[in-house]
Amino acid sequence: AVQLPVALIVAATHASLGIGRAGTLPWRLPTDMALFRLVTSAPGGSSASSQPAVVMGRKSWESIPKKFRPLRNRVNVVLSRTVTDFGPGTHTFSSLSQALSALSPTPPPASTIPPVSSIYIIGGAEIYTEAFKYPATSRIFLTTVYADEEALQCDTFLPDFRSIGEWEQKSTADLRRLLNDMECHEAVQLIPEDGDRIKENGLEYAFTLWEKR
Ligand code: NDP
């Protein structure tokens, strides 16, 4: 059984929920990257001896530049049906359900996985799509990118979770409150108080929070 709530963290275009192009991100958004790092590294109020887990697909792992992986200060979990070992500092599972069952604040003594304080699904589309089906998936940190969708040429998309009525968009104040509760005070500083868009590298984007109804 899944023992911790699961959050998705993702940046996607506003109209079509595009998230990738040719195996990489279609953009470079430094403030979004900073928020990603801060949120997924947040202590979350639990014991300092445990870290958050970041769960990703094999292709997303490969898209991270070698010098940045494994992602620091987080338990790196990589899903693959073909590769069994991604090297030091990683944990590999051949299914999402096995991974989520193994991630716990109090793993059994024989577990090779350290205790984790929280679980973030960090992509890509295959893993997000499967994670949406889990009842434990209760929150989405969504960076909405306002872009000329034609020009961006995304080839990888999130499923359209917004139209099914299961998910509710929270306010910017709710997002800031949540990050404060998570002791993620640095991240709060990155979020414009009035929900204003951030402008970087010719794109505009906004941080949003969604919760399951
Ligand atoms: P994924 O990163 O989801 O990786 C897919 C691979 O993961 C599969 O080929 C398989 O590996 C493994 N896998 C998938 N499902 C399972 C499962 N249930 N159990 C075990 N292994 C599984 O690839 P996508 O192509 O969907 O997404 C990659 C794209 O998404 C890239 O363009 C990337 O840049 C982008 N991205 C965007 C993000 C954003 O926030 N905008 C965030 C993350 C990624 P194998 O073939 O080895 O069996």
Q: How far is CA 174 from CA 65, 79, 137, 163, 184, in A?
A: 33, 32, 18, 21, 14
* Nearest residue to 127 (alpha-carbon basis) of 19, 212, 33, 28: 19
Mutate to test the pocket of ligand 1, among 6, 9, 40, 80 (most ligand atoms within 8 A of CB): 80
Q: Which two tokens stand for residue 177?
A: 């409150």
* Nearest residue to 113 (alpha-carbon basis) of 103, 121, 126: 103
Residue 49's pLDDT is: 80
Q: With bands split at pLDDT 50, 70 and 90, how would you rate the model's confidence at 42?
A: confident
Q: Which two tokens stand for residue 28?
A: 């470079």
Residue 186's pLDDT is: 96
Ligand 1, pocket residues at CB < 6 Å = 10-11, 19-20, 23-25, 56-60, 63, 79-83, 94-96, 122-127, 130, 156
Please answer whether residues 138 and 6 qualify as being in contact, where contact means their C-beta atoms are separated by less than 8 angstroms: yes
What's the average model confidence in pLDDT over 140-154? Answer: 97
**Residue 210 in this model has a pLDDT that exceeds 60:** yes
Mutate to test the pocket of ligand 1, among 16, 76, 79, 90 (most ligand atoms within 8 A of CB): 79
Q: Which atom of ligand 1 is nearest to the CA of 20?
A: 32
Q: Whose CA is nearest to atom 11 of ligand 1?
A: 80
Q: Which atom of ligand 1 is nearest to the CA of 125?
A: 26
Q: Which two tokens stand for residue 81?
A: 């049906």
What's the average model confidence in pLDDT over 168-187? Answer: 96
* Nearest residue to 77 (alpha-carbon basis) of 65, 87, 90, 68: 90
What's the average model confidence in pLDDT over 59-70? Answer: 98
What's the average model confidence in pLDDT over 37-65? Answer: 89
**Residue 209 in this model has a pLDDT that exceeds 80:** yes
Eight-class DSSP state of 113 = S
Residue 103's pLDDT is: 97
Q: With bands split at pLDDT 50, 70 and 90, how would you rate the model's confidence at 3?
A: confident
Q: What is the pLDDT of residues 77-99, one digit of tens each?
A: 999 999 999 999 999 999 999 99
Q: How far is CA 68 from CA 20, 56, 72, 123, in A?
A: 19, 14, 8, 16
91 phi, psi to nearest 5 deg: -130, 130
Q: With bands split at pLDDT 50, 70 and 90, how would you rate the model's confidence at 172?
A: very high
Q: With bands split at pLDDT 50, 70 and 90, how would you rate the model's confidence at 203?
A: very high
**Residue 45 in this model has a pLDDT that exceeds 60:** no
pTM of the predicted structure, to 2 decimals:
0.97
Q: Which atom of ligand 1 is nearest to the CA of 9?
A: 40
Residue 48's pLDDT is: 65
Q: Whose CA is nearest to atom 4 of ligand 1?
A: 57
C-alpha span between 141 and 139 (Å, rounded): 7
**Residue 47 in this model has a pLDDT that exceeds 60:** no
Alpha carbon 37 to chain centroid distance?
10
